[in-house]
Each structure stands twice: as structure tokens, then as C-alpha cells.
Amino acid sequence: MGKRYERLTAPLVRDNGELRTASWDEALDRAAGGLQAVVRDHAGSATGMFSCSKATNEMNYLAQKFARVVLGSNNIDSCNRT
């Protein structure tokens, strides 16, 4: 049998270099805040989106729309070329 891995059952956030368990609301707020800071400080060119060719057309459309409208980025790619 292969290696056995333990799964995370709750999100973790870093405080003063240490990871601690957090609520989903706190973890999502931190992630959103970090993304907002990058867009604010560096514009959309500092962000990008990767989508999958196995996703539906609708999902890929939403991914590119999110990248362009919300993030302000034209940096979107997919695995279609591989």
C-alpha cells in the first residue's frame, strides 16, 4: 500500500509565523483580503486565472469573465494546449 496522508478538516491561517485552525469565514476573509491587496497595489496584471479544458463552456466563460471584470486581468490560460 502507498503512503497514508492525513487530510485537513478545517482551514489553517498563519499568525506570527505559526499555523492555527480558523473558521471558514475567517479563512475566506483573509484570502479575499490578500487578493484585494494584490489587485489594489499592483493592478490586475499581477493576477491570473487558469481554467480546465474538461470544465463546461459555461464554467470556462465564468472563469474568464471573473479574471477580466473582477481581477482586471487578461492573464487567463487553460490546459487546452497540452
In a domain? residue 2? no
Q: What is the pLDDT of residue 1?
A: 60
Give the domain range for residue 53: 44-82
In a domain? residue 70? yes
Same domain for 36 and 49: no
At 22-34, the pLDDT tens digits run 999 999 999 999 9
Cα 30 from chain centroid (whole Å): 12
Same domain for 51 and 24: no
In a domain? residue 5? no
In a domain? residue 4? no
Q: Read off the C-alpha cell for 42.
A: 499592483
At 41-60, the pLDDT tens digits run 988 789 888 888 888 889 98
Residue 73 phi, psi dihedral angles, 5° rounding? -125, 140
What residue has cell string 478545517?
10
In a domain? residue 3? no
Same domain for 48 and 37: no
| Contact present, 52 and 81 (Cβ < 8 Å) | no
| pTM, rounded to two decimals | 0.67
Same domain for 79 and 50: yes
